[in-house]
Each structure stands twice: as C-alpha cells, then as structure tokens.
Amino acid sequence: MSKHDDEVSLRDMLSHANEAAELLGAASREELGRDRVMQLALTRLVEIVGEAANRISAATQQKHPGIPWAQIIGMRNRLVHGYDVIDLDLLWDTIRGDLPPLIAALEAIVKEA
C-alpha cells in the first residue's frame, strides 16, 4: 500500500475508534446490555477499526510497534466471524480500556503524517 493509503486507513481507524468511544459515552455495561441498537453500532465501529488496521502496510505497522495490530485485527475477525456469539463484556472492555490509548497513539501518528 502507498503511504497515502496508510494515512487514509489510519484516519479511518481514528475516526471510528473515536465514534465508538463517544457513542458508548457514560453508558453503563448494563445499559449496553439492554440497548440492541448500541450493541450493533459499537460492534460495527470496532469491526471497521480492525478492518482499517488490516489495510495498513507491514512497513507502517513495523514503524509503530506500540499499536497492537494483531490484536486489533483479531478483534475484528472475532466480531465478524463470531457474530452470533458477541461477548458484550469483551466489547465493553475493548471500548473502555483499549480504545482510549489507541486513540491517543493514532492521534500522534496522524499528526506526524
């Protein structure tokens, strides 16, 4: 992939990660469990973050070893292929715990570009 394509994918990762964090907002885990539309939206947003990560070239991935590329892509695969058994605790933990540091890292990378 070209540098431009990587930049587009990095921006896609950032925008969709931000959207997932904003959508979840201050909602509790119990609220997530009761809101099917939120579950579907958050699942899709996290899938897109993983799909965009999968499009990042190996060279760019190696340049940013602090990003857990394999785990992000693995989460996407788990959500897409295990659509019938989405673990809402894992989705919750990902958005609450993993997305904020990912967003910060992506903001720094995008700012560099």
As annotated, the active-site residues are 76, 81
Which pLDDT value is given to residue 2?
A: 52
Give 62-112 as a DSSP string.
Answer: HH-TTS-HHHHHHHHHHHHHTGGG--HHHHHHIIIIIHHHHHHHHHHHHHH
Would you call 41 helix, strand, or coil by DSSP?
helix
- Model-level pTM? 0.94
Question: Cβ atoms within 10 A of the Cβ of 17, count?
Answer: 26
CA distances from 30 to 35, 36, 84 (A): 9, 12, 20
CA distance 42 to 93: 12
Residue by residue, pLDDT tens for the chain (113 residues) are 455 699 999 999 999 999 999 999 999 999 999 999 999 999 999 999 999 999 999 999 999 999 999 999 999 999 999 989 999 999 999 999 999 999 999 999 999 98
Task: Please name the residue that has the structure tokens 């897409």.
Answer: 80
Q: pLDDT value at position 1?
A: 45
